[in-house]
Chains A and B, each alone.
Chain A
Amino acid sequence: MPLQTPPLRGLHDERGAKFTEFGGWDMPVEFDSIQSEHAAVREAAGIFDVSHMGQIHATGPDATELMQRLTTNDVTRLAVGDSQYAAITDEDGTIIDDTVVYRLPNETDDGARADEDGEPTYLFVPNAGTDESTHERWITHRNEWDLEATVDNRTDEYAMFAVQGPEAADLVDDATAESITALDRFEAQYATVDGVDCWVARTGYTGEDGFELIVPWSEAEHVWSLFDCQPCGLGARDTLRIEAGLLLAGQDFDHDSDPRTPYEAGIGFTVALETEFVGRDALAELEREGIEEKLVGFQLIDRGVPRHGYDITNTDSRVIGTVTSGTMSPSLEQPIGLGYVPVEYAEPGTTLQVVVRGQSKKARVETTPFIDTV
């Protein structure tokens, strides 16, 4: 199957980016160097093309009910302009995907924004490559539950950029006609960027303050070019996320190869058990009984770099888990990683071993995030 291309593929290529396949998309992995891109985000600002992330729009009288039943968090807490992190779980409570759900201004039947008498409207962002299956899931359940809601997959209609870092707020504020500095974390609004109508959200995925802009595909190049900061690729995204202890889809949870519940993955805060959703009963039972394994952060004490798939052992060399994400942390200049281990090994300070190409390397469980973030 041919790779999908982000709207800025040509621009990235001219800029000298290297590309990689990610979730069926041909995405920039590195523009200059992962270390310099990483440092720019921690110290100033960087911009990421995250147009590979899915964008699904749900509106109608039963849109709230549909979102409530298919995500783990409580969407009724969202006022217009709010957003929340949530998991999408299977009947057994395992994570199919994680997502951010935005409550947009209500819409009228003709698609116009009409907060007063329109229908509740949501936009949510599934991970790369899962937009079609997620869209199908929403449609199937809507039909099964006989709910009145329109669900559109708009992944190909909108580009998405993330401007991240301590200078991101100033950069975005300079670019938007309306002031966006009053937005709190996880708040969003429509704003115009040089005349282009964009959804601007104070969300992001690096641990830093930052904004995501959802931009009409045809205006992507124009809006991107207005941001004079370091372009960043997926490589820096990975190192930034690991340092912040944030999950990488397909690595830290993978519904096919290593199904995990939100409690195991450390995102139990996204589970609103007082609501009814697919997987709720399984998670309620797990919450009562407790989990057996959980995702922990660790630092490698010996020299080496932990990588996805490496075995984690106890000090008796018995395999107790697997590294899900690992890297040499550019900020800490130390090898760090994430992996699932039995809860009795999850206490910070616990000594573990990671098997790096056949050699046992000493590791220590650390609290996450590994670095202080917003």
Chain B
Amino acid sequence: MSFDVPDDRRYLESHEWALEIDGTVRVGISDFAQDELGDVVFVELPDEGDTLTQEEEFGVVESIKAVSDLYAPVSGEVTAVNDDLFDAPELVNDDPFGDGWMLEIEADDASELDDLLTADEYEDQIA
């Protein structure tokens, strides 16, 4: 089975993706991760205004069969949370790189993104 790995973003080994948009970093989980989890039924996310440190646990995604922690790709302040996921967690399955995004972080230092895996490196990890 092959999975989407868009090359416009970076990835964590723990399967989160990070996409920089005008200095803000949008975060979600990968196509591979949503497929491994199966039907996502619940997402727990931080509040806007919370501050996160790179690699800090920021929330939880639960499917029917499993629970998985979520880790921050960069340090900074949470500036947006995808509220749609509270009523429609299945968006994570349906569109993990689009409508299934989870939060946005105002990065303290955008160069932290360089620490993350490139699309090619992540593709190798899940191969």
- Residues of A at the B interface (CB closer than 8 Å) are 16, 29-30, 33-35, 235, 238-239, 303-305, 307, 327-328, 330, 335, 357
Q: Which of A235, A303, A304, A335 contacts B38 (CB 8 A)?
A: A235
Q: Tell me if B21 counts as interface (CB < 8 A to partner A).
A: no
Residues of B within 8 A of A305 (CB): 41-42, 62, 67
User: Of the candidates A35, A303, A357, which one forms a contact with B64 in the assembled complex, judged by CB atoms under 8 Å apart?
Assistant: A35
Complex-state Cα separation, A27 to B38, whole angstroms: 16
Question: Shortest distance in angstroms between A149's beta carbon and chain B's nearest beta carbon?
Answer: 41
A328 contacts B41, CB within 8 Å?
yes
Interfacial chain B residues near A238, Cβ < 8 Å? 65
Bound CA span A357–B1, Å: 33
Instruction: Please determine whether A327 and B64 come into contact, CB atoms closer than 8 angstroms.
Output: yes
Contact B39 A33 (CB under 8 A): yes
A330 adjacent to B65 (CB under 8 Å) = no
> B42 and A239: CB pair below 8 A?
no
Q: Which residues of B contact A357 (CB under 8 A)?
A: 60, 67
In Å, the complex CA distance between A35 and B67 comes to: 16
**Would A328 and B60 be within 8 Å (CB), given that A16-B1, A304-B42, A305-B42 are in contact?**
no
Asked if A30 and B65 make an inter-chain contact with CB atoms under 8 angstroms apart, the answer reads yes
What's the Cα separation between A231 and B48 when bound, in Å? 43
Selected from B42, B64, B67, the residue in CB contact (under 8 A) with A330 is B64
Question: What is the bound-complex CA distance between A335 and B60, given in angstroms?
Answer: 16
Encoded as 1 (CB less than 8 Å from any A CB) or 0, chain B from 9 to 31 comes to 00000000000000000000000
**Contact present for B38 and A30 (CB under 8 Å):** yes
- In the complex, A29→B64 CA distance in Å? 12
Among residues of A, the one whose C-beta sits closest to the C-beta of B65 is A235
Q: How far is the CA of A307 from the CA of B63 in the complex (A)?
A: 11
Q: Taking the nearest CB of chain B, how far is it from the CB of A359, in angstroms?
A: 9
Report B47 CB to chain A, min CB distance, Å. 14
Contact pick for A34, options B38, B42, B44, B62, CB 8 Å: B38
In whole Å, how far is B43's beta carbon from the nearest beta carbon of chain A? 10
8 more A-B contacts (CB under 8 A) besides A30-B65, A34-B64, A304-B42? Answer: A16-B1, A34-B38, A34-B39, A35-B39, A303-B44, A330-B64, A335-B42, A357-B60
- Measured between beta carbons, the chain A residues less than 8 angstroms from B86 are 303
Q: Nearest Cβ distance between residue B25 and chain A, in whole angstroms?
A: 25
CA distance A269 to B93 in the complex (A): 42
Whole-angstrom CA separation of A205 from B1 in the bound complex? 31
**Interchain CA distance A33-B1 in the complex, whole Å:** 15
Chain A proximity mask over B42-65: 1 for CB below 8 Å, otherwise 0: 101000000000000000101011
Instruction: Please indicate the chain B residues that have their CB under 8 angstroms from the CB of A239 in the complex.
Output: 64
By beta carbon, the residue of chain A nearest B63 is A34
Pairwise interchain contact B65-A34, C-beta atoms closer than 8 A: yes
Contact A29 B65 (CB under 8 A): yes
- B44 cross-chain contacts in A, Cβ below 8 A: 303-304
**Chain A residues within 8 Å of B42, by CB:** 303-305, 328, 335
Of B38, B60, B65, B86, which is in contact with the most chain A CB atoms at under 10 Å from its CB?
Answer: B65
